[in-house]
Amino acid sequence: MLTSEGMTDAILRAMKYPSGFEPETSSVYGRNEIIVAAPPERVWRWIIRAANWPKWYAHSADVEFLSGSPPDLAGGTEFRWKTFGTTPTCRVFIFDPPHEIGWEARSILGAYHGWTVEPDGRGGCRVITDECQNGIIPKLISWYLRPLVINAHQYWLERLKAMAEAGEPG
């Protein structure tokens, strides 16, 4: 697991963030990564198939597409889902298949969640996920939210790894 501690400025600059959700100015920031022994394109298909997240990621439910073409996310797609007791409305902000996707989320807080998939040169890939949160709640309880984000995203990455290494999404 990698977090924001020890990250170089070059790595942070390589990631794309919407204005107001840069890691250095966010109340909560978490970053995780994992190596997956599956092609980047297959991992990508698991990430964008949002309609299936509840089948393999326990912290998601009731994914509803407000725009776009289910079951997959695409640039500009708006969707709503339940996660950790909230129901954020999200809009895909970055969509660069099969390398990077990110969405802005609005609920009781504002957040940006990004994913990057990088080939590892051995037929697999490195997957990085990061999240920035802002608003009064993240500001007040960042001490609680940051470990929650890091632990939840590590679990999400581990489930993604297991699913992608087992085959294609249904």
Domain count, the chain: 1
Residue 56 in domain: yes
Q: Are strands 89-96 and 100-106 parallel, antiparallel or unpaired?
A: antiparallel
CATH number of the domain that residue 160 is part of: 3.30.530.20
- Mean pLDDT over residues 115-129, rounded? 96
pLDDT band at 14 (very low <50, low <70, confident <90, very high): low
* pLDDT for 20 beyond 50: yes
Provide the domain limits for residue 92: 9-166
pTM of the model: 0.90
Residue 138 in domain: yes
Return all residues near 2 (Cβ < 8 A) that are at least 6 apart: 31, 32, 33, 128
Residue 4 in domain: no
Q: What is the pLDDT of residue 170?
A: 83
| Mean per-residue pLDDT over the chain, rounded | 91
Residue 132 in domain: yes
pLDDT digits over 123-144, tens only? 999 999 999 999 999 999 999 9
Residue 143 in domain: yes
Give yes or no for a contact between 124 and 37, defined as CB atoms under 8 angstroms apart: yes
Residue 50 in domain: yes
Q: 145 vs 17, 29, 114, 149, CA distance in Å?
A: 20, 9, 17, 6
